[in-house]
Amino acid sequence: MPSMFSALEYVPDWLLTHGPAFLMALPLIMAAITSILPNKRVAWASTFIVTAILTLTAFALALYNAEVGTTIYKMGGWAPPHGISLVVDALNAPVLVLIALMSFITIIYALPATVAEIKPNKRAPFYAAFLLCVAGLLGMVITGDAFNVFVFLEVSSISTYVLVAMGAARDRRALSAAYNYLILGSIGATFFVIGIGFLYMETGTLNMADMARILADLDGGSRVAKVAFGFIIIGLGLKLAMFPLHTWLPGAYAYAPTPVTVFLASTATKAALYLLLRFTFFVFDPSYAYVADELLYILVGMGVIGMVFASLQAIFQTDARRMLAFSSVAQVGYMLLGIGIATTASVAAGYLHLINHAVIKGGLFLALGAMWYRFGITRTEDFKGLGKTMPLTMGAFTVLGLSLIGVPFTAGFVSKINLAGAAADAGWWWAVGVIMLTSILALVYIGRVLLLAYFQSPPVVNGEVVVRNEAPLMMLIPMWILALTSIFIGVESDAVVGAATRAAELLLGAG
């Protein structure tokens, strides 16, 4: 990619050196300023500019990382392991780009969406909470300090609860969904921080690289390390919606304001999955017996059960957003399966699916949001005739839906074929079967709404057939960016697969 490397010449050196801190400080400071900005468009404009800058910075850092390798930024000039370090390596650079890019795309979409969904006096706080959430997610991905992870996890979680609850203007059930998420999310964060506490007790450090070194010296550590590991996995499992711990997710996705759902579905669980990778393979190591057991029995077990059960639940949902939410739980199962097989190829496939699924599910929720915006559609049976009344929106939904199923030349196909290939290479033929089975289940729940949209005529309201009423341009643009990205990844998968492979090699070593 020589042409892409030369793009770095246009990036100021300052940004490459201080980019890691800039990436989390900018949204944090701007969130404070945005919260007191006059309402309406000013708050949106400032958020738009911030997310655009974040996206460029994240891209620049990722390119820089591909060129020079892992960089460590010393916060406040204090050297690790005592000071807090910000680390950009092959594992988190793609996730940083993903979060920044999805926040940017969400904000484009949010301009028309918030007008419909958020009360005018709540819009500036909405954007402020959104920026805080972005800051938290970027922070927990970029930091090299385990306690710092917890702090940013809470920054992002608490702002997310607020964002979900803001859906109450549209549907009062958002309040109970947000409360449910608050309780379970807090339990998850508590488990996580208890785990960090035990780990600190065992190793005497909070720097993750230092922890990894000391644990390796201790040959996996004593029972304290095992308990710590258990707490961390349960805590992260709640955050990433691992199968039996996913109950907060459908409600939160279904009743949050639509831009929030888009952003959450594509980033929040992904950041937690990144942390799972970071802790399982980087801080701990699969060579410790208890980590290997966790990979085999918890991640693979829960992943596979989740894939099948959540897909089945998705089929029987009447609410379209709940359907996609259960599908998200199932897709997390794919990623867990990939991580659990624990070969370089399978972890790369799981990581690839993490990125692809963010693109796909973000786009699908965008399309659903546009449908709600125009026709107030939330139930699957209301999809009747949408192929005629909203052809462009439905077109994007179809492309992304096919990608979710795993049709060739789409992003979903690339990650599923990689995952199936990795499972077969490891001799896990039954896992290949499960992947095929759940793909068929995905075909059922996506196909169900596609059939309604294309082979049923538009409904008759007040004696007149509903006419074409396409979504506004500000919704179509981000939607199609994601739909085309998913096709692009499907056709020209080298860049993304390369990034995923580099991430997996960082965790497991080449080969």
Partner 1 sequence: MSDPSHTSSETSEPILGRDPHVLLRVIAKFLIPLIALFGLYVQFHGDYGPGGGFQAGVILAASVILYALVFGLKAAKAAFPPRLIRYGMVLGVLLYGGTGVLSWILGGEFLNYSVLAHDASHGQHYGILAVELGVLVTVTTVMIAIFYAFGSRQPETSDEDW
- Residue ranges in contact with partner 1 by CB under 8 A: 18, 21-22, 25, 28-29, 32-33, 35-36, 73-77, 172
Q: Looking at residue 308, what DSSP letter applies?
A: H
- Residue count of the chain, please give it: 511
Smaller CB separation from partner 1, 76 or 427:
76
Report d(CA 433, CA 473) in Å as an integer.
42
Neighbouring C-alpha atoms within 13 Å toward the C-beta of 182: 13
Least CB distance to partner 1 at residue 419 (A): 39
∠ CA(23), CA(25), CA(26), 5° rounding? 75
Q: In a 3-state reduction of DSSP, which class is residue 203? A: helix
Smaller CB separation from partner 1, 135 or 254:
135
Instruction: Name which of 187, 197, 61, 37 is nearest 124 in CA terms.
Output: 37
Name the packing angle between helices 93-117 and 123-142 (round to 10°).
170
Least CB distance to partner 1 at residue 217 (A): 30
Q: Residue 236 in contact with residue 275, Cβ under 8 Å?
A: yes
Q: Residue 214 in contact with residue 204, Cβ under 8 Å?
A: yes
The dihedral through the CA atoms of 395, 397, 401, 403 has a sign that is positive
Smaller CB separation from partner 1, 35 or 456:
35
Least CB distance to partner 1 at residue 383 (A): 29
Name, in order, each residue with C-beta under 8 angstroms of 397's C-beta and a sequence gap of 6 or more.
364, 367, 368, 453
Smaller CB separation from partner 1, 24 or 245:
24
Query: According to the 3-state scheme, what is the secondary structure of 337-391?
Result: HHHHHCCHHHHHHHHHHHHHHHHHHHHHHHHHHHHHHHHCCCEHHHHCCHHHHCH
Smaller CB separation from partner 1, 16 or 75:
75
The dihedral through the CA atoms of 88, 90, 93, 95 has a sign that is negative
Smaller CB separation from partner 1, 122 or 388:
122
Q: Residue 436 in contact with residue 357, Cβ under 8 Å?
A: no
Smaller CB separation from partner 1, 28 or 228:
28
Least CB distance to partner 1 at residue 17 (A): 9
Least CB distance to partner 1 at residue 29 (A): 4
Report d(CA 286, CA 90) in Å as an integer.
19
Smaller CB separation from partner 1, 79 or 510:
79
